[in-house]
Amino acid sequence: MQLSLILSAFTVLPFSWFLPLNLLPAKLPPNEPTIVKVAVDAQFDKQLEISEGMAAVRINDKWGFVNKDGLVKINKSFDEVRSFSGGLAAVRVGEQWGFVNKRGKFTIKPQFDDALSFHDKRTFVKQYGIWGLVSKKNKIIARPQFETVGVFSEGFASVSVNGKYGFVNKKGKTIGDLTYLDAKDFSNGLAAVKTGSKRWGFVDKKSEMVIPATFEAVDKFSLHGCAVKWEGKWGIIDKNGTIKVANNYDRLSAMAYGFFMVEKNGKLGLIDNNGEEVTGIKYDEIASFSEGMLRVKIDDKIGFLNSFGQEEIPLIYDQSTDFTDGKAKVSLDGRVGFVTKNGDSLFEKKAISKR
């Protein structure tokens, strides 16, 4: 197959794939997520990541779904959609939300003001300005009563009533009182809560405080610890609240493969959960792992680290996507091509102008 045909299989996107650190998600997952991108025709205006074998796509302000090969499976007839979860996708028709299955048939007709994706066979839906909890058969689990809701994680979800936060279980029953100023999702058995002191601590699944609220800001717990901020700097604690890594960093977030991304004096790098530097703190931008490869940037050049934190692909490219199906789309000196995980590259013979 000619390279031009391969290139045409990718959606044409502007080369703005890096986000500054302050625009990265505040809490990165402890393990690398399984993300597969869909090769779809450039006729689509926008596409979401594939979920459960389906990806949402938009054309002319209407959304539908395609499979991983880009074949339309659900016609573009919705005004807004969320990704498939638990075999169903939330879709909006006009001002009302409902749910469709993978055949595009409504299992719950549009009737809600808003709706989240299903987790653990239940989801939050909004009516009359407040949120309740329903099953896949649209049976009410908890009547509308919550001002804000999170998503279910490890059997619990954060909710708030009258500005006070706490947690509900899968039956919609509150665990303890709703007393906190804020609450985050459970991760590895613990959830961060913000108390009246405006400091963060951690509760267990009985809503009992197990790590005192002494921190200015917190991340989620990974298997290797949790990034927390005190006295204006970030460090790492374990599940007992013991300091593992001193607060030496301007920013710190958990990444895949047991690494933590750190920022110091405007530069980024990776450390392990014991605080040992895996890379120098020298990068201007760091993305997230994709297929075991981590996109990094120094000045205007991009390369990749492997899952050991070693520079596998030199920083020579002008622009790059993440890895998908073993290759990343790159540009170099006005030419577009692909690079493999071992650094081999294939470019078009004819140079094209940079976007």
pLDDT of 45: 66
Quick count: other Cβ atoms within 10 Å of Cβ 31?
Answer: 13
Question: Residue 278 CA to chain centroid, in angstroms?
Answer: 24
pLDDT of 130: 98
* Rounded to 5°, angle at Cα 294 from 219 and 32: 50
What the block records as the tokens of 229 is: 């901020």
Domain boundaries, the chain: 36-118, 122-178
pLDDT of 17: 37
pLDDT of 11: 33
Beta strand 122-127 with 130-135 is antiparallel
C-alpha–C-alpha distance, residues 331 and 351, integer Å: 10
pLDDT in tens, the chain (355 residues): 333 333 333 333 333 333 333 333 333 333 333 333 444 444 566 777 789 999 999 988 899 999 988 888 999 899 999 999 999 999 999 999 999 999 999 999 999 999 999 998 999 999 999 999 999 999 999 999 999 999 999 999 999 999 999 999 999 999 999 999 999 999 999 999 999 999 999 999 999 999 999 999 999 999 999 999 999 999 999 999 999 999 999 999 999 999 999 999 999 999 999 999 999 999 999 999 999 999 999 999 999 999 999 999 999 999 999 998 899 999 999 999 999 999 998 886 544 333 3
Architecture of domain 36-118 in CATH?
Single Sheet (2.20)
Task: List, for residues 226-266, the tens digit of each pLDDT value.
Answer: 999 999 999 999 999 999 999 999 999 999 999 999 999 99
pLDDT of 26: 33
C-alpha–C-alpha distance, residues 293 and 257, integer Å: 11
pLDDT of 325: 87
DSSP, residue by residue, 266-324: TEEEEE-TTS-BSS-S-BSEEEEEETTEEEEEETTEEEEE-TTS-EEEEEEESEE---B
